[in-house]
Amino acid sequence: MKEQISKKLAKASQVYEQNIALRAMVNAIPYVGSSLDVLFAWKGQKLIQNRMKELFEELRKEMSSISEGKIDRKYLESEEWFDLVIRVIEAAARTRSREKINLYARVLRGAVTIQDRREFSPEEYLAVLTELTLREIEVGQVIYRQQCEVRMQPNENELQWAWRMGWKQLPELCSSVPKEDIPFILLRLQKSGLVREITGTYFNYTGGVYIITESFRKLMRYIGSKNE
């Protein structure tokens, strides 16, 4: 494991030698800047460097809202943290989306806080977010906002609850997504474990209604959703 990480760090060493502004930005990140200092370098295209800068800026914003007492300093010295950082950098380098880069920064922020590490898995959350497209994330966020807080009423089944939460308005709320693409996106979200299709024998129901999973709720708690 140490040998693999060393190779990755060696690959990432040269930007700091040539880019003073980037190194200063990383060192300015509260609490985690010094541990990131030895990691962040990426030989190659200016585009990748710009995406790294966006990631560092988003991480700086996210870390500025965390008090020092919540930082897991032992974790910051671990190989697990180093490996996660490399994966996040690689993910950020592959996207032009500022929204996804912000989500990746929030994965890092969640990882460095004191928590039950058996309950949350930043590596799995990063893998899910990396695989999803922006349109899939948009649809997932709409469903989550509909269903995150309100509980079922007495004698109400899952299908009735989903309809009451506004399921039929989903195409209107996902204005940038063609209506005909939504069923495919829902299947992708189900494959990721964020939603599940309601099944069972209900009058006049032929399928196609989905509800969020507990895994989705945990992910949103982890990245600090304002809706949880």
At 60-105, the pLDDT tens digits run 999 998 888 889 999 999 999 999 999 999 999 889 899 999 999 9
Does residue 43 sit in the same domain as residue 102?
Answer: yes
37 pLDDT band, cuts 50/70/90, is: low
Beta bridge partner(s), residue 39: none
- Domain total for the chain? 2
Res. 46: pLDDT tops 90: no
Q: Is residue 153 part of a domain?
A: yes
Does residue 77 sit in the same domain as residue 114?
Answer: yes
For the stretch 148-181, pLDDT in tens is 987 888 889 999 999 999 999 999 999 889 999 9
Res. 44: pLDDT tops 70: no
Does residue 32 sit in the same domain as residue 114?
Answer: yes
CA angle, 145 then 211 then 104, to 5° = 55
Q: Which residues contact 64 (CB under 8 A, 6 or more apart)?
A: 30
Which has the higher per-residue pLDDT, 16 or 133?
133
Q: Is residue 18 part of a domain?
A: yes
Which has the higher per-residue pLDDT, 198 or 47?
198
User: Final residue of a domain: which of 131, 151, 175?
Assistant: 131
Does residue 23 sit in the same domain as residue 48?
Answer: yes
Does residue 149 sit in the same domain as residue 176?
Answer: yes
Share of the chain above pLDDT 90, in %: 56
Which has the higher per-residue pLDDT, 185 or 226?
185
Q: Say what the pLDDT of residue 2 is.
A: 41
Q: Is residue 228 part of a domain?
A: no
Q: Residue 66 belongs to what domain range?
A: 2-131
User: Final residue of a domain: which of 74, 105, 131?
Assistant: 131
Q: Is residue 92 part of a domain?
A: yes
DSSP at 71: B
Q: Mean pLDDT across the stretch 203-209?
A: 89
Choose among 188, 87, 83, 179: nearest CA to 134: 188
Res. 209: pLDDT tops 90: yes
Does residue 145 sit in the same domain as residue 115?
Answer: no
Sign, CA dihedral 47-38-221-131, equals positive
User: Final residue of a domain: which of 131, 153, 178?
Assistant: 131
Q: Is residue 166 part of a domain?
A: yes
Q: Is residue 227 part of a domain?
A: no
Does residue 127 sit in the same domain as residue 150?
Answer: no
Does residue 27 sit in the same domain as residue 42?
Answer: yes
Q: Supply 63's token pair.
A: 């870390």
What pTM, to 2 d.p., does this model score?
0.76
Res. 132: pLDDT tops 70: yes
57 pLDDT band, cuts 50/70/90, is: very high
Does residue 118 sit in the same domain as residue 11?
Answer: yes
Which of these ranges, 37-41, 185-189, 212-216, 217-221, has the smallest mean pLDDT?
37-41
Q: Say what the pLDDT of residue 6 is.
A: 45
Choose among 166, 176, 171, 96: nearest CA to 135: 176
DSSP at 151: P
Q: Is residue 99 part of a domain?
A: yes
Q: Say what the pLDDT of residue 149 is.
A: 82
